[in-house]
Amino acid sequence: MKPFKQNEFGKRVAADFFLSGTGSSMYIVYFLSASIAGFKLNSAILLAGPALILAGLVLLFSELGKPSNFWRSVANYRTSWMARGAIFNFFYVAAGFGILLAESLRSYSFLPWIDATGFVIALLVLVYPGMLLRAVKDIPAWNSASTLAVTLIFALSGGGAAVILASAFIQPQALPEELVAVMVLNAFLIISGELYLKALRSLGSKKEGADLSYKEMQKKGGVRTLMFLDMISLVLYIIAFFSAGALQYVIAFAGSMLTLYTVYLFRVRLLEAGYHQPLITKKFIDSLKNKA
C-alpha cells in the first residue's frame, strides 16, 4: 500500500502559519535590530506583528468545525503543540499591545524587560508551527529536524520582507540597512532550501513517506520554483540597494512581496506533501504469513 497523505490542513492553515510566522519574526527583527544593531525601527511594526497574528487566529477560528469550543484550545498544553501555540499566540498579542502601550507612554525604565519578554514570546510563536508539524510522528517529512529548521528560516525571511514592506512606506531612510539584512536572510533562505531538499531526499531513501513528500515538493511549481523566485527577489533587493528615492521603495517593495509569496507557498507545499508512512507494507504481510 502506498503512503497516504493528510487532507485536513490546507491553504487556510498554511495562511495561519504564514501570518503567525511573519508577525512574530517581524518583532524578532525589530528586537534584534534595536538590541544588536542599535537601530530602532518604527514602532508601527509593533502593531503590525500582533495584527498579523490576530489575523492568523481569525483564519484558524474560521477553519474550526466547532469554533464555540475554541476557548478549550489551551487545555492540553502538556502534550499538544496546538494548545501551546494557542497560549503563545494569546500572550504574544497581549505582549504586543503591552509593548506598544509602554512605548507610547515612553516609560524607558521597564522597557528592556518588556521588550525581552516580547522577544521570548515571539520566538515561541515563531517556533510553534514547525513544532506542531514535527510532533506528527508518522509523517517523516514533517518529523525531521531539517523541516523545522527550514520553516524557521523561511519565517525569518518573511519577517524581514514584511519589515521592508512596512519601511518602504513609513521609514524609507532605514531601507539601505534593512536591505543588507534581508539580502543575507534571502541568501540564507536559498541555501537552506537546497540543503533541505537534499536532506529530504536522503530521508526518502529510508522512509517511503518522505520519498513521496520529496517527489511532491520537487515537482512543477514546487520548492525549486520557490527557490528560483527567491533568487529573483534577492536580485531585486540588490538592485534596490543600489537605487535611490522612489525607485528604491518600489523595487524593495516588489522584492519583499515576492519573498512573502514564496514563504506562504512554501507552507502550502509543505502541508500538501504531508505523506504518512504506508499503512500496510509487504514486510508486514510477509511477517504475518511467516515468510523470511
Identity (one letter) of the amino acid at 283? Answer: K
Measured CA to CA, the distance from residue 105 to residue 128 in angstroms comes to: 31
CB of 84 to other proteins, least distance (A): 8
232's torsion region: left (phi>0), alpha (psi -120 to 50) or beta? alpha
The residue (of 134 and 179) whose beta carbon lies closer to other proteins is 134
CB of 140 to other proteins, least distance (A): 11
The residue (of 48 and 86) whose beta carbon lies closer to other proteins is 86
Q: Which residues contact 90 (CB under 8 A, 6 or more apart)?
A: 74
CB of 207 to other proteins, least distance (A): 11
Q: Helix, strand, or coil here: 275?
A: strand
Instruction: Please report, for residues 29, 39, 106, 115, the alpha-carbon distance to residue 109 in angstroms, rounded to integers and kept in the order given.
Output: 22, 19, 9, 11
CB of 137 to other proteins, least distance (A): 6
122 within 8 A of 31, measured Cβ to Cβ: yes
The residue (of 191 and 285) whose beta carbon lies closer to other proteins is 285
**Residue length of the chain:** 292
CB of 209 to other proteins, least distance (A): 10
The residue (of 63 and 177) whose beta carbon lies closer to other proteins is 63
Measured CA to CA, the distance from residue 100 to residue 157 in angstroms comes to: 24
CB of 136 to other proteins, least distance (A): 5
Q: Which residues bind other proteins (CB under 8 A)?
A: 1, 4, 6, 8-9, 60, 63-70, 72-76, 79-83, 86, 132, 135-139, 274, 276-277, 279-280, 282, 284-285, 287-290
The residue (of 106 and 289) whose beta carbon lies closer to other proteins is 289
The residue (of 116 and 280) whose beta carbon lies closer to other proteins is 280
The residue (of 69 and 205) whose beta carbon lies closer to other proteins is 69
CB of 120 to other proteins, least distance (A): 22
Measured CA to CA, the distance from residue 81 to residue 223 in angstroms comes to: 26
Closest CA relative to residue 11, chosen from 266, 284, 289? 266
Q: Helix, strand, or coil here: 97?
A: helix
For helices 81-105 and 111-134, give the axis angle rounded to 10 degrees: 160
290's torsion region: left (phi>0), alpha (psi -120 to 50) or beta? left
